[in-house]
Amino acid sequence: MSKPIVAVVGRPNVGKSTFFNSIVGRRVSIVEDTPGVTRDRIYAEAEWNGVHFGLIDTGGIEPDSKDVILSQMREQAQVAMDMANVIIFMVDGKEGMTAADEEVAAMLRKTGKKVILLVNKIDKPSDPPDTLYDFYELGIGEPIPVSSANKLNFGDVLDEVVAAFPKGAGEGEDDRTHLAVIGKPNVGKSSLINALIKENRVIVSDIAGTTRDSIDTPFRWQGEEYVLIDTAGIRRKSKVYENIEKYSVLRAVAAIERSDVCILMIDAAEGVTEQDKKICGIAHEAGKGIVVVVNKWDLIEKETNTMRDFRQKVLSELVFATYAPVVFTSVKDNVRLQEVMKTADKVAQIRKTRIPTGQLNSLIADAMMMKQPPSDKGKRLKIYYVTQVGIEPPLFSFQVNKRSLMHFSYSRYIENRIRDTFGFEGTSIKFVFREKREKDQ
C-alpha cells in the first residue's frame, strides 16, 4: 500500500531544502542562499525508526506576490499540501514572524491536515531568541526550534511526524491490480481511461480517492478486477490547477505510490519531453511496472519502420527504463486499447516472478566466467551466493566479499544477463549487496 506523504512548505529561503536533504540523507534539492532557488518540487523516500514515507520539498510560498516564479511556487505548494498526510511548516527564527508567514498559516489551517511548525535557524536552543515565542500567534501549535544546518531536534520532529500518520497506514492489502495513468497534461490520460471503462463495461462508478485526490475507478477486464487511477481526474475548481504542466509531476507522485503498474502516456507529436522523463523516473525509482503508451499515433506520417524507429527513440530518451514496453495508440480512434490492457496485465504478472535459486546462481556463475568481476588494489570482487528475496519489484540479494568492489557497470552487466535470461519486461529489478560477514536481515 502507499506510503504516507509529508510536505515541507514555507516562505523562500527559510531552510526547507537543507532540512529536506538532511532527512533524505543525500543532496537532492539545490541549496543556495537566494530566495526562490528551489523552483520545482523534489520528492524522495525517507525513513524514521522503520517507518517509510514520501517527503516533498516545495518551492517557497510568497502569498500574493506579483512575481511570476514566487506565485507559481505558492500554487505548487498548494498542490503539495492537498496531497500530504502531514505538513511541515518552516519559518525563519532569525528573521522573525512576517505577514507572509501569517498568510501561509491561514492557508495551512484551512487544509484540516496535521501541521508541525518548525522555527529554523535556532542554533542555541538553550538560549532561543525572543522571536521564537512570536510564532505561537500563528495558531498552528507549539513551535519546535530546529537548525537544519546542524540537524538540531530532528529526532523530535520526526517522532512527531510519524506519530501523526494515520493508524494502520499500509495495512489492508488490496489484491486488485492498480494501474496509474500518468503523464503531462493534455496527452489523453482521461480519454484513455474513459475509453477503457466504456470498452470493458465498468462495474463500479467513480469513487473519490484518498487525501491525494486522485480518482479511482474499479473495473473488470477479462474476468479480473483492476483499479484505474486517473491523475488527470483531480476535481478542482480553482484555476491554480488548470494547464500548469509542472504540477503534473506532483500529482503523479501519490498515484505512482499507490499503483502496481504505471501507464506513462506521451504525445506522439511531441515525443519524450523533460516532464515525461521526470515522471517516468519517479515510477522507476519507486520500483513500479512501466508501460509507455504513445498516444495520437494517427497524427504521425508513416513510413517503413516508423514504429520501430520511434520506439527506439523513446527508449533512448528513457535510458533508465529501457525495459519498458511501448504501445502505440490513438485513443480517439480506439486503436490498440486492448493491447494497452494486455501489456499492463502482463507487466503486473511479471513483477510477481520468482526465480529458483539454483538457476539464479548458475546464471551468475556463467556471467562471472564470461566477464571477470572488477578489482581494486589487487582485491577482486567475489559473488558467493545470490537469491531472490522479494517481488513487486523483483529483489535480489547478493552475498559478496566486499560491496565497494561492485561497480555500477558490473551491476548493470549482471542485470542485463538476468533480463536476457528471465525477461522481466516492464519492471525494474532491485539488487542489495551484503558482505559475507553480514547476516541477512
In terms of pTM, does the model score above 0.85? no
**344 and 385 share a domain?**
no
**427 and 380 share a domain?**
yes
Measured CA to CA, the distance from residue 165 to residue 162 in angstroms comes to 5
**182 and 43 share a domain?**
no
Task: Tell me, yes or no, whether 326 lies in a domain.
Answer: yes
**326 and 420 share a domain?**
no
CATH of the domain at 419: 3.30.300.20
CATH of the domain at 185: 3.40.50.300
Task: Tell me, yes or no, whether 364 lies in a domain.
Answer: yes
Task: Tell me, yes or no, whether 169 lies in a domain.
Answer: no
Q: How does DSSP assign 272-304, residue by residue?
A: S-HHHHHHHHHHHHTT-EEEEEEE-GGGSPP-T
> How many domains does one find in the chain?
3
Task: Tell me, yes or no, whether 287 lies in a domain.
Answer: yes
**34 and 79 share a domain?**
yes
Task: Tell me, yes or no, whether 242 lies in a domain.
Answer: yes
Residue 250: pLDDT above 80? no
Task: Tell me, yes or no, whether 209 lies in a domain.
Answer: yes
**329 and 376 share a domain?**
no
Of the candidates 58, 78, 45, 53, the one whose C-alpha atom is nearest the C-alpha of residue 1 is 53
pLDDT tens sequence across 145-167: 888 888 888 888 899 999 998 77
Of the candidates 284, 288, 295, 268, the one whose C-alpha atom is nearest the C-alpha of residue 318 is 284
Question: Among 333, 350, 367, where does a domain finish?
Answer: 350
Measured CA to CA, the distance from residue 407 to residue 59 in angstroms comes to 35
**289 and 197 share a domain?**
yes
Question: Among 326, 350, 374, where does a domain finish?
Answer: 350
**314 and 363 share a domain?**
no
Measured CA to CA, the distance from residue 345 to residue 343 in angstroms comes to 5
**344 and 363 share a domain?**
no
Domain limits at 233? Answer: 177-350
Task: Tell me, yes or no, whether 311 lies in a domain.
Answer: yes
Please state the three-class secondary structure of 108-147 as a single string. HHHHCCEEEEEEECCCCCCCCCCHHHHHHHHCCCCCEECE
**428 and 284 share a domain?**
no
Instruction: Check residue 66 and give its pLDDT.
Output: 64
Question: Among 350, 381, 396, where does a domain finish?
Answer: 350
Task: Tell me, yes or no, whether 56 lies in a domain.
Answer: yes
pLDDT tens sequence across 396-436: 999 999 999 999 999 999 999 999 999 999 999 999 999 98
Q: Which residues pair with 218 in a beta bridge?
A: 227
What is the rounded radius of gyration, in angstroms, for the C-alpha atoms of the chain?
24
Omega before 393 within 30 of 0, i.e. cis = yes
pLDDT tens sequence across 325-340: 999 999 888 889 999 9
**338 and 403 share a domain?**
no
pLDDT tens sequence across 271-281: 998 888 888 88
Instruction: Check residue 42 and give its pLDDT.
Output: 64
Instruction: Check residue 63 and give its pLDDT.
Output: 60
**210 and 306 share a domain?**
yes
